[in-house]
A = this chain, B = another copy of it.
Amino acid sequence: MATVPLISDEAASPEALTVFDDIRLKRNTDYVNNFWRALANDPAQLQAVWERLQSVMGPGTLDPLVKEMIYIAVSVSNGCSYCVHSHTAAARAKGMTAEQHGELMAVIAMASQTNALATALQVETDERFSARSD
């Protein structure tokens, strides 16, 4: 059970309902998932997160599916169960194949392992990694 009530359409403030409607419109679905209904307890926060999310995850130089896979990687490392589920579903909706998912898993596992080793060994950064073109 969430630590806050999930806000139904009936209980939503006008500001929150506007965001719910925008979610439905942009995602072409009637369904508003629990994250947004929990956030709706604070309509200003709901609106800020929804707007920023669209800006960040929208068209750019990175493929939308690539963005979802990066999102999954962060969510796994932060141990956010809800986020792993929601963004794995989103990545599949954007076309992620089982093979791509498998490779994503392998990269996350590899990075987690070498992160731990580099931290355990307290390896100092090589000077050349800091060489930038500026």
Contacts and interface: CB of A to CB of B under 8 A. Distances in A.
**Oligomeric state, in number of copies?**
6
**Contact-size category for A:** 35 or more
Q: Of A38, A62, A70, A115, which is in contact with the most chain B CB atoms at under 10 Å from its CB?
A: A115
Interface string A87-131: 111000000011111111111111111111111111111101111
Given A107-B56, A134-B5, A119 B76 contact: yes
DSSP class of A's interface residues: helix, strand, loop or mixed?
helix
A9 B76 CA distance: 28
B109 A116 contact: yes
A61 B3 contact: no
A28 interface: no
A34 interface: yes
A125 B39 contact: no
Contacts of A113: 49, 109-110, 112-113
13 contacts: A35-B114, A45-B105, A45-B109, A56-B107, A56-B110, A60-B99, A71-B107, A78-B111, A78-B112, A82-B124, A89-B129, A111-B116, A113-B113
Interface of A: 1-5, 31, 33-35, 38-39, 41-42, 44-45, 48-49, 52-53, 55-57, 60-62, 66-67, 69-89, 97-126, 128-132, 134
